[in-house]
Chains A and B, each alone.
Chain A
Amino acid sequence: MGWNVAERREPGINGPGRAARIGFGLFWIYVILYFGFIALVLFRPDILSSRPFGGVNLAIASGLGLIAAALLLSVVYMVACRVVESPRGERR
């Protein structure tokens, strides 16, 4: 997989390339979480009915967790982009 756009878009600046790479890393983390959850729903629903934390079952806990994870990863991405872009000064 090339870095087609990142290179074409911002010639000579490393920041966006690194930002895109961070984005991909976080994207794959979420893919694993999301499709892992779907796999549990499909093949091991019994695990999701269990209540390891006593109160809410794992189905609800993991659903809420996926929503929280999306927000957490997006904030991490925003902060990471600011860090990798900052030494070059503000963009455009």
Chain B
Amino acid sequence: MLYESSPVAIAIFASFVLAVVGLSFWLGRKGQSAKGYYAAHGEIHWFINGIAFAGDYLSAASFLGICGMIAFHGFDGFLYSIGFLAGWIVALFVIAEPIKSLGKFTFADALDAKYNSRGIKLSVAISTLVVSIFYLIPQMVGAGDLIVPLLGLPHAVGVILVGIAVTLIVVTAGMVSTTWVQFIKGSLLVFFCGVLTSMILGRGLTVNTGSLEPQTRSVTPDGRVLVDGEPQTRDHDLRPVGTLAALPARYGDATTTGPLGPLEYLSVLEDSRIVTWSGKKSTDASGTHTVYTPTERAGADLLKPGGYFKGLTTGKLADKLDFASLMLALFCGTASLPHILIRYYTVKDAAAARKSTVVGIAAIGAFYVLTLFLGLGAMTSGALDPTSTNMAAPLLAKSFNETLFAVISAIAFTTVLGTVSGLIMAGSGAVAHDLVENVLGIPMDDAEKVRCGKIAAVGLGIVAMALGILFRSFNVSFLVGWAFNIAASANLPALVMLLFWPRTTKEGIISAVTVGMLASLTWILLSADTFEKVYGLSRDASPVPFSQPGLVTIPLGFIVLIVVSLLTKAEPKGKPA
């Protein structure tokens, strides 16, 4: 669908970006120490840090991806919400306090605290960079996707705008400004999703009879876009979709329910009939054609598992394992994400780390409950773009009014700013503190450490922009799944065993991190999903049985660590290697 750029949206977005960049300059006006740059002096209040956790964690995949998935496929999108939140239980109960007391600036500090080994620092710094970059790609792609409808600018401009804004935020005041940007973004996101949800419930459910004629979008070999055979224009475009065909019988002839309570909304939807659309692609000499066709379905079918994860209904074992593997990776991945872990160094002690995690869980949990209503609200809003699941949340807002659309789009865009600044911060620490200072052994004073971190941040900002442009056609949630799998496979076994198995040796940690990272990466590159979506090959050509590696590579990391640790001799406690 074509979108008109909205001046209100541009104004809101521009003022927000100027405000946060201005705030960063103000926070960074004083000279900085390394502890200030990398860990915000360890002085962030636990409540601010807790909301910043939400701002860091609730990425474009959570907001745009999950809403879109629920709007198009029903309940299965909510399974992502459940998995993303469950990961915080591992973070709080197992990881939070030890990581706080073991480390100083980076994740490598914590894993290396007992051993003082360059090998550990090197392998962990590389895994931090790999995970951060894999997580960066979908954020940047999401930023580009949003800028097209919002500001009417090309995809690449969106990516470059985010890249520059984020690099400025990180370079001016490091972790201090990053934290405040994430705090502001986290509070705005949860607040406005709450506002949107109350508007959805206030509007209730209404039968809307849109046309049910199939629609075709074609791209000709010379790049022209046709809709139903005619050139695409504002007046001749794909029709918005996502409608309610019938209310439950108890409403009789009424076509609208009026305001509904939250649980009432869900139960009315379950007894209603809903029209969802899906596209089928084909290619011939005249170009690539996608035909979008409607299906009327019972609400009860959309509110049960199996709409997106087909394996849940087909009964094929490999498909079931694929789903189990994803849910395991989501559970284990959160506590292994370097940009989340470094947030534990910004508070003063373990008790504050604990309290801020609880605040984070409350904010993130509330947000994920709201995503269910946003997704279902979008499903029946009659405003969905059949070509883009990522636009479901902003278009839902548009079905209320333009201003709300502008606000929600601007917030979605700043969602990307908050998460990307956290990732660049984690990467900058891995390069400057772990690689340059500790692995290469280049001595640096406090000011040099800060300067080196800032140079690394600029470099990472440029890499992020390049990757965002390169991977523009990729699905956002799909890429985030990769990052969680790699993080969980590379980092979790080493982290857990270090904390709870006294026989763990440095060789064990190095090999677990390296094998976990390489195995999950290789598995992903060989998976049927990648064969189909990246290489354009047949799914059947893939040599691995299912696409999500976690179920195999997380246990593999543990086994490698145990075997290598048993084969090597533990260093006596306290003696540096």
A66 CB to nearest B CB, Å: 5
Given contacts A2-B500, A23-B93, A42-B320, contact A75 B306 (CB under 8 A): no
Distance between Cα atoms of A16 and B100 in the complex (Å): 13
B481 CB to nearest A CB, Å: 16
Residue of A nearest to B100 (CB): A9
Distance between Cα atoms of A63 and B305 in the complex (Å): 11
Give chain B interface residues in 492-542, CB to chain A under 8 Å.
498-502
Which of B79-87, B462-470, B472-480 makes up part of the contact surface?
Answer: B79-87
B351 touches A81 (CB 8 A): yes
Distance between Cα atoms of A64 and B79 in the complex (Å): 11
Binary per-residue interface labels of chain B (68-94) against chain A in the complex, 1 for a CB within 8 Å, 0 otherwise: 000000010011011001101110111
A42 touches B324 (CB 8 A): yes
B92 touches A23 (CB 8 A): yes
B312 touches A4 (CB 8 A): no
Q: Determine which residue in A5, A57, A85 has the highest number of CB atoms from chain B within 10 A of its CB, and name it.
A: A5
Distance between Cα atoms of A16 and B98 in the complex (Å): 10
Distance between Cα atoms of A5 and B331 in the complex (Å): 22
Indicate if A83 sits at the interface (CB-CB under 8 A).
no
Given contacts A56-B267, A57-B304, contact A27 B82 (CB under 8 A): no
Indicate if B263 sits at the interface (CB-CB under 8 A).
yes
Given contacts A5-B499, A42-B312, A71-B361, contact A91 B86 (CB under 8 A): no
A81 touches B354 (CB 8 A): yes
Indicate if A49 sits at the interface (CB-CB under 8 A).
yes
Q: Determine which residue in A3, A30, A34, A85 has the highest number of CB atoms from chain B within 10 A of its CB, and name it.
A: A34
Checking A4, A48, A85 against B501 with a beta-carbon cut-off of 8 angstroms, the contacting residue is: A4
Indicate if B357 sits at the interface (CB-CB under 8 A).
yes
B559 CB to nearest A CB, Å: 17
B304 touches A71 (CB 8 A): no
Task: Kindly list chain A residues whose C-beta atoms are within 8 Å of the C-beta of B246.
Answer: none
B368 CB to nearest A CB, Å: 6
Distance between Cα atoms of A5 and B102 in the complex (Å): 9
Task: Kindly list chain B residues whose C-beta atoms are within 8 Å of the C-beta of A67.
Answer: 81-82, 85, 365, 368-369
Task: Kindly list chain A residues whose C-beta atoms are within 8 Å of the C-beta of B354.
Answer: 77-78, 81
Task: Kindly list chain B residues whose C-beta atoms are within 8 Å of the C-beta of A49.
Answer: 300, 304
Q: What is the interface of chain A mostly: helix, strand, loop, or mixed? A: helix
Distance between Cα atoms of A5 and B93 in the complex (Å): 13
Distance between Cα atoms of A41 and B312 in the complex (Å): 7
B303 touches A57 (CB 8 A): yes
Distance between Cα atoms of A66 and B82 in the complex (Å): 7
Indicate if B115 sits at the interface (CB-CB under 8 A).
no
Give chain B interface residues in 322-337, CB to chain A under 8 Å.
323-324, 327, 331
A75 touches B358 (CB 8 A): yes
Distance between Cα atoms of A75 and B359 in the complex (Å): 9
A78 touches B355 (CB 8 A): yes
Task: Kindly list chain B residues whose C-beta atoms are within 8 Å of the C-beta of A5.
Answer: 98, 101-102, 499-500
Given contacts A4-B499, A24-B93, contact A74 B78 (CB under 8 A): no
B89 touches A27 (CB 8 A): yes
Given contacts A67-B368, A91-B350, contact A57 B501 (CB under 8 A): no
A37 touches B312 (CB 8 A): no
B436 CB to nearest A CB, Å: 28
B93 touches A27 (CB 8 A): yes
B186 CB to nearest A CB, Å: 16
Residue of A nearest to B311 (CB): A42
Residue of B nearest to A45 (CB): B305
Task: Kindly list chain A residues whose C-beta atoms are within 8 Å of the C-beta of B78.
Answer: 60, 63
A70 touches B267 (CB 8 A): no
A70 touches B85 (CB 8 A): yes
Task: Kindly list chain B residues whose C-beta atoms are within 8 Å of the C-beta of A74.
Answer: 88-89, 92, 357-358, 361-362
Given contacts A70-B85, A73-B89, A81-B351, contact A56 B266 (CB under 8 A): yes
Binary per-residue interface labels of chain B (301-319) against chain A in the complex, 1 for a CB within 8 Å, 0 otherwise: 0011110000011000000
B430 CB to nearest A CB, Å: 23
Give chain A interface residues in 36-92, CB to chain B under 8 Å.
37-38, 41-42, 45, 48-49, 51, 54-57, 59-60, 63-64, 66-68, 70-71, 73-75, 77-78, 81, 85, 91-92
Instruction: Give 5 CB contacts A-B under 8 Å.
Output: A5-B102, A34-B82, A59-B305, A71-B361, A73-B93
Interface contacts beyond A2-B501, A55-B263: sample of 8 additional A-B pairs, CB < 8 Å, sorted by A: A4-B499, A5-B500, A54-B267, A64-B369, A67-B365, A71-B365, A73-B89, A92-B349
Which 10 A-B residue pairings sit nearest by Cβ, starting from the closest? Answer: A55-B267, A27-B93, A23-B93, A5-B98, A49-B304, A56-B266, A74-B358, A30-B89, A67-B365, A9-B101
